[in-house]
Amino acid sequence: MATTFRILPVLENKKLGSYHKVTLTDREMYKSAACGNFIMIGFSMLDPYLPRPFALFEVSKETLSVLFKVTGKGTELLSEVKKGDSLKVLGPLGKKICPPDKGVLIAGGIGIAPIYYQTGFMKGGILFYGAKSKKDLISIREFKNRGFKVKTITEEKGGLVPDLVEKHKGELNGKQIFICGPLGMIKSIKSILTKEQIEKSYVYIEKIMGCGIGGCKSCAVKTTDGYKLVCTEGPVFPLNEVELD
Amino acid sequence: MIDLSVKLASLSLKNPILLASGVWDLPYTRIIDFGKLGGVICKGVSLKPKEGNPPPRIAETSCGIINSIGLENKGLEHFNKEVLPEITKLKTHIFINVFGETIEDFAMIASRIKDVAGLEVNISCPNIREGGDSFGKDPKMVFSITKAICNETELPIIVKLSPSASNIEETAQAAKEGGATAVTSSNTFPGLVIDIDRKKPLFKNIAGGLSGPAIKPLALYNVYKIKNAVDIPIIGSGGIANHKDVIEYLIAGASCVQLGSIIFNNPLAPIEILDNLSYWMKEKGYNNLRDIIKK
């Protein structure tokens, strides 16, 4: 994997529902980016000091995009970038995963970002997808075009992703399952799934990172095999190996 | 031609920029040309594997970070077999940061590491319960550990001092008397982050180690104090973010410096700092670093 550090120009910053999609001009990422990869985006000042990890959302021969929700100082700054600004980018990072041609994807809220990227490496399957409101359900048409049967739920209509999973639990049998979303959602889903289903499930883990490349050992997550680093041994882990804390 | 070379005791470094222990690992060789650096210090190695502290292990502060990694490493045997052969391929001076929970641990590790430029003795990590900072605050302990190590190895010994010592001149003097070749001016500064939702310290170990530009004036002052009290080469460390910071450290009395967490902010910082140091010297009419520190 050719990880590089580059300063990339912002091509576009647009709102998608309550999220932001920032697109950078880049003709290198597509050559080496793989499913499961992420990038670190840094700022031109010392405060905020640390770069932030973002799942790849879209990568083309000319661009790369990230999709995010404003949750703090870093994402707020990133939500304000304009065409022509520059951002520090380190990547691609993380351990490559090889998803099956067809499988089950489960996303909650902004957890849709890496799930959407993953669908580019698959031929179809089922997507269970929930968000706060209908406007935050992103790229539904695109998922369908990629061969996915999409089942959605929104909080404003009184439902959560685990409710959706519970309702269609039988459809998950025998399939590989990939989950990304808030910790509470992941825990609830784990409690719903059968032992066999858990054994075929993988989860995207998010942690605060220092370097993103295995230097600082900050992003440790507890697993059945001791601490592992999310940046180099993840971000995707088998659901039954990782401790959800 | 600008000459950036410096002397660290008997060692000649091609320039004064070293990478500090704990911030880098081999994946960084994909981004940084290590051959351009004066040297690197590997992450702390202990006799036995150490799994590190429970997460969370890091938090951002204004212009810095606070960490509670807990010296995660796979132990000396793994290091000698798997890591050292790769690290020594880097075309720069290699120093190994070592730590122990007892004086005997330190001596044992020192006796079993060969073929490197020197050892950096970590008596100052604020993130472990046994040893670490509690050793670094006590001049008698600093002397005993340094002496025990020097009895076991011919390698140059650099003692990484604790900023928590009530009198850093005394611990620097103790390191010198124990046989140290040089001292690293200071480790991270102990600090606290409170999780306001849980109303508790963020880290399970309570305190963490603060680094980054936030600590530069404090760390720089340590260099100045040591320089004026003890005749021993000093490696300056703490909060260096640009070439002007390096010059400040050299003027304060450091022979060379370590870059740490700045490589998270900008992985190319070591190379950019070297370039900017040369430009600055050329602009000011300096041919070598010795001229800068002349009064």
pLDDT (average), residues A185-200: 96
pTM of the complete model: 0.95
**ipTM at complex level:** 0.94
Instruction: Kindly indicate the confidence band of residue B133, based on its pLDDT and cuts at 50, 70 and 90.
Output: confident
Q: What is the mean pLDDT of chain A?
A: 95
> What's residue B185's pLDDT?
95
Its domain, for residue B179, covers 6-52+68-189+210-293
> What's residue A178's pLDDT?
98
CATH number for the domain that contains residue B244: 3.20.20.70
Closest of A215, A209, A161, A208 to residue A189, by C-alpha: A161
Catalytic positions of B:
125
**Residue B195 within any structural domain of the chain:** no
pLDDT in tens, B11-39: 999 999 999 999 999 999 999 999 999 99
Q: Are A13 and A82 in contact (CB under 8 A)?
A: yes
**Residue B196 within any structural domain of the chain:** no
pLDDT(B233) > 90: yes
Instruction: Kindly indicate the confidence band of residue B128, based on its pLDDT and cuts at 50, 70 and 90.
Output: low
> What's residue A229's pLDDT?
97
Q: Which of residues 42-61 of A touch B (CB under 8 A)?
A: 42, 46-51
Q: Hey, which residues does A14 pair with through a beta bridge?
A: A21
Task: State how far the Cα of B175 lies from the Cα of B181, in Å rounded to an integer.
Answer: 9
pLDDT (average), residues A48-56: 97
Using a CB–CB cutoff of 8 Å, tell me whether A27 touches chain B.
no
Given an 8 Å threshold on Cβ–Cβ distance, is A220 in contact with B30? no
Chain B hits for A214, CB-CB cut-off 8 Å, are 25-27
Q: Hey, which residues does B94 pair with through a beta bridge?
A: B40
Task: State how far the Cα of B223 lies from the Cα of B218, in Å rounded to an integer.
Answer: 9
What whole-number percentage of chain B has pLDDT above 70?
A: 97
Q: Please work out, in degrees rounded to the nearest 5, the angle formed at the alpha carbon of residue A186 by the alpha carbons of A110 and A53.
A: 45
Closest of A14, A129, A4, A145 to residue A67, by C-alpha: A14
By Cβ distance, the residue of B30, B58, B63 closest to A47 is B63
pLDDT(B226) > 70: yes
pLDDT in tens, B51-107: 999 999 999 999 999 999 998 999 999 999 999 999 999 999 999 999 999 999 999
Domain count, chain B: 1
Q: Please work out, in degrees rounded to the nearest 5, the angle formed at the alpha carbon of residue A245 by the alpha carbons of B53 and A91.
A: 75
Phi, psi of B111 (to 5 degrees): -75, -15
CATH architecture of A102-238: 3-Layer(aba) Sandwich (3.40)
Q: What is the mean pLDDT of chain B?
A: 94
DSSP state for residue B84 in the 8-state scheme: H
Using a CB–CB cutoff of 8 Å, tell me whether A125 touches chain B.
no
> What's residue B295's pLDDT?
57
By Cβ distance, the residue of A2, A42, A221 closest to B265 is A42
Task: State how far the Cα of B189 lies from the Cα of A6, in Å rounded to an integer.
Answer: 31
Chain B hits for A227, CB-CB cut-off 8 Å, are 51-52, 55, 72
Using a CB–CB cutoff of 8 Å, tell me whether B44 touches chain A.
no
**Residue B177 within any structural domain of the chain:** yes
Fold match, A4-93 / A102-238: no
pLDDT (average), residues B144-163: 96
> What's residue A123's pLDDT?
95
Annotated domain spans of chain A = 4-93, 102-238
> What's residue B129's pLDDT?
62
CATH number for the region A4-93 comes to 2.40.30.10
> What's residue A158's pLDDT?
81
Structure tokens at A59: 């990568």
Q: What single-letter amino acid sits at B12?
A: S
Task: State how far the Cα of B34 lies from the Cα of A94, in Å rounded to an integer.
Answer: 22
pLDDT in tens, A4-31: 999 999 999 999 999 999 999 999 999 9
Q: Which of residues 75-94 of B touch A (CB under 8 A)?
A: none
Q: Are A178 and A105 in contact (CB under 8 A)?
A: yes
> What's residue B12's pLDDT?
95
Q: Hey, which residues does A152 pair with through a beta bridge?
A: A129
Chain B hits for A183, CB-CB cut-off 8 Å, are none
**Residue B12 within any structural domain of the chain:** yes
Given an 8 Å threshold on Cβ–Cβ distance, is B25 in contact with A219? no
